[in-house]
Amino acid sequence: MNRVVHPIEVESYRRMRARLDTSHFPPLTRAVVERVVHSAADLDYASDLVMDEGELAKAHVALHSGAPVVVDVEMVAAGITRRETVCRLKDAVAGPGLTRSAQAIRLAYEQVGPGALWVIGNAPTALEELLTLDAAPALVIGLPVGFVGAVESKAALRESGLPAVSNVSEKGGSAVASAALNALLYHPYHPASHSEEKS
């Protein structure tokens, strides 16, 4: 099923590209950068985001092959309109040394196991908790926002060696996290070329 793009979105992308040259990025990186910039109307994300095209290619295959998508909050889930997601925040209870967001990540991991795509746009503690688990993720989109813990948790994600999309600054949030996942969802997928993407 092809996605119908609204004329306003077409015009918005045209104006963004008039102000931001993304032609040097490889295809999936470009898709993520453009959709994140578009979602936030913030051109600075083009130099703030950190990702690897090879990791995105493998995640793209996993996503289109049905790997689960886990989100930290319902606001991220709300932004991902073409895919069911797992969010366990409603079931989570904070405990000693564990925030509700962190507990929700534990519950989600118990549910989905390894190989999921994790989309964290709100809570640094959710990202920190994910890094303590043996989650073997297909991809971690780690874009939590805030002045406490966000920069540090994203730096820890990059240092972990896990396949990831992150950014360097305090910026982030549910809208940009879901936009990064949507970029991979909307990018054309050709199962025949799947072996090339895995290499």
Evaluate whether 120 touches 133 at the Cβ level (below 8 Å): no
Question: In whole angstroms, what is the distance from residue 25 CA to residue 22 CA?
Answer: 6
10 Å Cβ neighbour count for 97?
6
190 assigned to active site: no
User: CA 131, 166, 136 angle in degrees (round to 5)?
Assistant: 35
β strands within 21-103, DSSP E: 49-50, 69-71
Task: At 146, list the tokens.
Answer: 């805030």
Residues 6, 38, 187, 190: which is the catalytic one?
38
- Residues labelled as active-site residues: 38
